Amino acid sequence: MTNRSKKSEQTVPCHACPVRKLNRFQPLPESQQAVVQQYRAGQTTIPAKQYLYREGELHGNIYTVFSGWIMLYKTLSNGGRQILRYVLPGDFIGFQADLQFPMNHSAQTLTDCTLCVFPRPNFLQMLQTNPELGLQIAWITARDMTLGQEYLVNIGRKNAKERLAFLFLELYQRLRLRNPKITDSIPFPMTQEDIADTLGLTLVHVNRTLRSLREEGLVNLSHHTLTILDYDQLSDITGFNNSTLATDQPLL
């Protein structure tokens, strides 16, 4: 078996992707807002398809995402790639078990992104001065881990259709938690190859499964827009449960 997807060196910034402003990010808890504020090193805007950092690279910065989508992934020696999770507006990114060691995964923007940057020194100093933030970070990390476990179940114990359904509902719900007013259509900046590398499938099989979901009138995915046509049936297929993501909370 073994699916790969060779990653070519894409250097071309792509404002191509019709994904625009994503949902507002949620403001930080007021109590901590002021504190965190003073350690920011300002905002950056990064075009689509750029690396924030790469596996094996030393990189101590921590980010908060204001707008845009980012994907985190690991690569295999055989050229394969496994996407670990998508980072959405409001999410926190760059914290790992050991900040002075090389990153254990890569982060690449899917769309143009606006980020709030905490250089490592600032970040560490902030934690030293405000130790109660440590627990915040622990909660956040635990929540990210929970999502990862959901992915594990999805890839390890479901068939292609169920996996697709899960991914769609997951992203839909995550956006919805941040902005309850969103419609049934959400931006979807990933390619089918990205989906494949998220779900442990091949591009070809994703395409076929997608067709089948479309023909059954469950979802529609085209032009980088995903429309949920039959939420109930999708959630039925994949056993998706809202409580899965319910502990979503605003971040730093």
Partner DNA sequence: CGTAAAGTTGAATTCTTTCAAACACGGTGG
Partner DNA sequence: CCACCGTGTTTGAAAGAATTCAACTTTACG
Q: Are 121 and 72 in contact (CB under 8 A)?
A: no
Residue list 153-192, contact with DNA (CB under 7 A): 159-161, 191-192
Binding test (CB under 8 A) with a copy of itself, winner from 16, 132, 204, 211? 132
Q: Using the minimum distance from each CB to a copy of itself, give the nearer residue, 2 or 183.
A: 2
Q: In the complex, what is the shortest distance from the CB of residue 120 to a copy of itself, in angstroms, rounded to a whole number?
A: 14
Say how far apart CA 1 and CA 196 lie, in whole Å: 14
Q: Are 108 and 194 in contact (CB under 8 A)?
A: no
Nearest to 62 by CA among 32, 96, 34, 33: 96
Q: In the complex, what is the shortest distance from the CB of residue 8 to a copy of itself, in angstroms, rounded to a whole number?
A: 11
Please, is 106 exposed, middle or buried when counting C-beta atoms within 10 Å of its C-beta (0-12, 13-18, 19+)? buried
Q: In the complex, what is the shortest distance from the CB of residue 158 to DNA, in angstroms, rounded to a whole number?
A: 8
Q: Which pair of structure tokens corresponds to residue 22? A: 């994503």
Residue list 191-230, contact with DNA (CB under 7 A): 191-193, 200-205, 207-211, 222-223
Say how far apart CA 205 and CA 56 lie, in whole Å: 31
Binding test (CB under 8 A) with a copy of itself, winner from 199, 206, 218, 228? 199
Say how far apart CA 2 and CA 108 lie, in whole Å: 23
Q: Please tell me whether residue 137 binds a copy of itself under the rule CB under 8 A.
A: yes
Q: Using the minimum distance from each CB to DNA, give the nearer residue, 16 or 41.
A: 16
Q: Using the minimum distance from each CB to a copy of itself, give the nearer residue, 43 or 159.
A: 159
State the alpha helices, DSSP H only, in 42-159.
120-129, 132-157
Binding test (CB under 8 A) with a copy of itself, winner from 8, 11, 38, 77? 77
Q: Using the minimum distance from each CB to a copy of itself, give the nearer residue, 171 or 186.
A: 171
Q: Are 194 and 221 in contact (CB under 8 A)?
A: no
Q: Please tell me whether residue 3 binds DNA under the rule CB under 7 A.
A: yes
Q: Using the minimum distance from each CB to DNA, give the nearer residue, 24 or 211.
A: 211
